[in-house]
Amino acid sequence: MTIAVAQIIPVLFLIALGALLGKRGLFSFEVVEGLKQIVASIALPALLFIAFSRVYVQGRLGMLALIVFASCAGMGGVGVLVTRAFRLPKPSTIFLFQGFEAGMLGYSLFLSLYSEIALPSFAGADLGQVVYVFTVLMYQLRWSESRGSVTVYSLISNMFRSPIILAILAGLVSAILDPGARVVPWKDGGLLYPLFKTIGSITTPLVCLVVGFGLKDLRLKGTGSVITAVLLRLLLGGLFGAFIGGFLVPALGYEKIQSLAVVILFLLPPPFIIPIFFKRREEQEYLSAVLSIHTLLSILAIAGIALVSTL
């Protein structure tokens, strides 16, 4: 437990530092956007490549990816019902129930809590949802933004230009050709391993600073629908994650760390890209508030899971 607490402290400190630097004006929106680009285009792809190159590509990995993919769709279906039942803003709330922010938050948290050795477990959990986000969710978002003019070809074309997708595909190809990364130059102790490790290691501090900046203007006043959406989404994600991680993952023959990876994945907030597809100020403010509060509660919930798992 002492080790787990020690791993959480730097994450919380950097998030608080990001919020403080934003409040003091030492971080601007432009600076943070630059940091996001560094993470999304350079640091995170390096981290993803190393993680996926160590994933064992077996039939059970495909089954796990399919289960997570279907669960994202299932949560989206429940989100439609929840949005109507609780009269939450439509259609923005429906999108909030689909997908998870694994890239800009999940990998950083998991790496901080469970070390690089366990990172392939989170990559295995993430595979199905990242495919869902870049296909099903992205299609819905672009269709909503362009009023139905988006094509499947343009969607797939944009997807395969993403450094994140390319890094995942390259890592999977490496894992197929050399299971366990035993002879490739990026193996543990290999010639290129320090390069990928160094670049990937900046992901966590940069992401924490960016997340902290996003929390600097957090307000709780007048956020009834925001709190409702966050709590419902956390509850739903927790139920899905607990069922998959507690029953289906062990049934596939995985160890406990894979179950923890799935549970943590389903506690993460929705993808951070969702607000950019909405032009109205009220919708952007609502979505940003949901993501900010959800991020804060997700970090606390995941920290709690990490502490409990050490008992």
- What the chain holds in terms of domains, given with CATH numbers, is 2-204+222-309 (1.20.1530)
pLDDT band of 4, cuts 50, 70, 90: low
Summarised one tens digit per residue, pLDDT across range 244-259 is 999 999 999 999 999 9
Residue 27, Cα to own-chain centre: how many angstroms? 23
CB contact at 8 A, 123 and 164: no
pTM: 0.92
* Range of lowest pLDDT (5-9, 52-56, 128-132): 5-9
- Other C-beta atoms within 10 Å of 226: how many? 24
Closest CA to 207 of 301, 107, 285, 99: 107
Within a 10 A sphere around the Cβ of 12, how many other Cβ atoms? Answer: 14
Lowest mean pLDDT among 40-54, 139-153, 163-177: 139-153
Statement: residue 160 has pLDDT above 70: yes
Residues in the chain: 311
Angstrom distance (rounded) from CA 110 to CA 128: 17
Residue 241: count of CB within 10 angstroms of its CB: 26
Structure tokens at 267: 């506690």
- Average pLDDT value for residue range 117-121: 93
Alpha carbon distance 123, 53 (integer Å):
10
Res 104: pLDDT: 85
Question: What gap in Å lies between CA 115 and CA 7, rounded to an integer?
Answer: 9
**pLDDT number for residue 279:** 78
d(C-alpha 246, C-alpha 262), whole Å: 9
The predicted model gives 230-239 an average pLDDT of: 96
Asked whether the beta carbons of 80 and 250 are under 8 A apart, the reply is: no
Task: List, in order, residues 6 or more apart from 123 with CB less than 8 Å away.
Answer: 48, 51, 52, 54, 55, 168, 171
Q: What is the pLDDT of residue 29?
A: 87
Least confident of 61-65, 90-94, 131-135, 235-239: 90-94
Structure-token match 């869902």, residue found:
132
**Do 244 and 68 form a contact (C-beta atoms < 8 A)?**
yes
Cβ(134)–Cβ(270) below 8 Å:
no
Asked if the peptide bond before residue 179 counts as cis, ω within 30 degrees of 0, the response is: no
Residue 25 or 75, more confident? 75
Are the CB atoms for 299 and 131 separated by under 8 Å? no
